[in-house]
Amino acid sequence: MTEPLTQLTDEETLFGDTVQQFANDVIGPRVHDMDAAGKLDPEIIPPCFELGLMGIEIAEEHGGGGASFFLACLAVERLSSVDPSVGVFVDVQNTLFNNCLLRWGTESQIERYAPRMATDTVGAYALSEASSGSDAFALSSRAERDGDEYVLNGSKLWITNGAEAGVFVVFATIDPDAGYKGITAFLVEREFEGFSVGKKEDKLGIRASSTTELLLDGCRVPAENVLGELGKGYKVAIETLNEGRIGIGAQMVGCAQGALDAALGYSHEREAFGRAIFGFQGVQFELAQLATELEAARLTVYNAARLKDAGQTFLKEAAMAKLYSSQVAERVTSAAIEIYGGYGFTKDYPVEKFYRDAKIGKIYEGTSNMQLATIAKAMRG
């Protein structure tokens, strides 16, 4: 069994502290208004690029940080401790779009898109459709060859970063009769003819993170923008999502940490029966239990990320990380509201938002049942 490497290096500690300071100082004052508006403040996007958060694994020669997958997850965790909406904004850029481009892109594609993704362009990942969620490959979107282009028709749903993205990884099938073996990935730019962004969802949580519909109405994509091989889009999707689930685990850890920090602080301020409620053993024990579960979730996420960076198998560990961290986030954020009492149920305090944000962790990038199925399959051997 591979021993987990959970201790942060000096470089990782410095990076994490820098991201945390940015989250506290720049994002923190905007959280309430962004949640109420259901939209990211556009002023936070350029600093995310300037700080290097949008191209962490992209090579330095292309303007990126040339750093590890682990650092990308660490960034997502720290951002999410202040606002999970910003956490997933950065997460999709790094663990889905950039990871997909760097893993499957041709040299020409990487040279064309990587510098943009590292400096000024937001990316999105478009797999889901109305009839294909957990059954990810039941795609109805079609791609037909027309000379030097492919023409895409169909629609996509639940696309994170859809409102901000300039480039999308879009999955469509070139041969419906071939089943999953007809699925192909394409790099689609927002300005391409026949492409448009449709309805933006009004969500329970992570409200500032855009979740949109994409419309493909005779969308013309150069043949050179096929990402990976024709008919191998299923492989691109599966392997990218395995990595993305670790990023969602990091988001859930950050979400839970933000709620726990708030609850701990409030337990020293709120008084009952003449003293701060932290003085009651029942409150102490609850906070201790939550902190223990959160640390276990964090180490599960860190271990999966370390395995990925080490080039070792991490499929089961990624599923465990997402499954457990989302469970812990739901428990921690719920308990935090109770520690606040009636105030926790109001929007004047931060924990109700963390509670709403936590729920999505059990749903997107593979539901909890899908993670359990993956873990069980791995146990069968």
The residues annotated as belonging to the active site are 365
Q: Which is it for strands 123-126 and 167-173: parallel, antiparallel or unpaired? A: parallel
Beta bridge partners of 173: 142, 183
Give Cβ neighbours of residue 141 (< 8 Å, ≥ 6 apart): 129, 152, 153, 154, 155, 156, 170, 171, 172, 173, 216
Could you give the C-alpha distances from 49 to 55, 61, 102, 159, in angstroms and in order? 8, 16, 18, 21
d(CA 312, CA 375): 16
Residue 229 three-state SS? coil
**CA 306/CA 56 separation, integer angstroms:** 15
- Neighbouring residues of 381: CB distance < 8 A, sequence distance ≥ 6: none
For 167, the enclosing helix (H) or strand (E) is strand 167-173
Stretch (H or E) spanning 313: none
- What is the residue type of 289? Q
Q: Which amino acid is at 322?
A: K
Nearest to 30 by CA among 89, 108, 85: 85
Please classify residue 16 by burial: count the beta carbons closer than 10 Å to its beta carbon, then call 0-12 exposed, 13-18 middle and 19+ buried.
middle
Tokens representing residue 93 in the block: 């850029």
Q: How far is CA 286 from CA 118, 292, 300, in A?
A: 42, 10, 21
